[in-house]
Amino acid sequence: MIEVKAFGTSNRGFELWLETTQIQQAQRNPQFYVYLVENVRQGDPALFSVRVLGGDRLARLIANAKEHRYFTVPWPVADYDSCPRELDG
């Protein structure tokens, strides 16, 4: 099983965000891998870079995972479309 994460630039030095189900799958399934595709924002696939996390390396990283909780806020298209593009005054 492979999870693919894409980043606009390099993710070097930043945290890797994984969903709860992805952490659980990585803990149970020794054939679970995370493929990180970086530098996609610039648009040229020849300049993308790939990093592959799996096995002992992924297990070691997940052992240090910190759970975070957050909220998602629905943002309907009509509200998005009518939202101001700058602060007034």
Cα 41 from chain centre: 14
What pTM was estimated for this model as a whole?
0.77
Amino acid symbol at 48:
F
Q: Which pLDDT tens digits describe the chain residue by residue (89 residues)? A: 999 999 999 999 999 999 999 999 999 999 999 999 999 999 999 999 999 999 999 999 999 999 998 888 899 999 999 998 888 75
pLDDT of the residue at 87: 81
The β-bridge partners of 36 are 5, 51
Which residue, among 12, 67, 62, has the nearest Cα to 33 in the 3D structure? 62
In degrees, rounded to 5, the angle at the alpha carbon of residue 30 between the alpha carbons of residues 27 and 32 is 80
Amino acid symbol at 30:
P
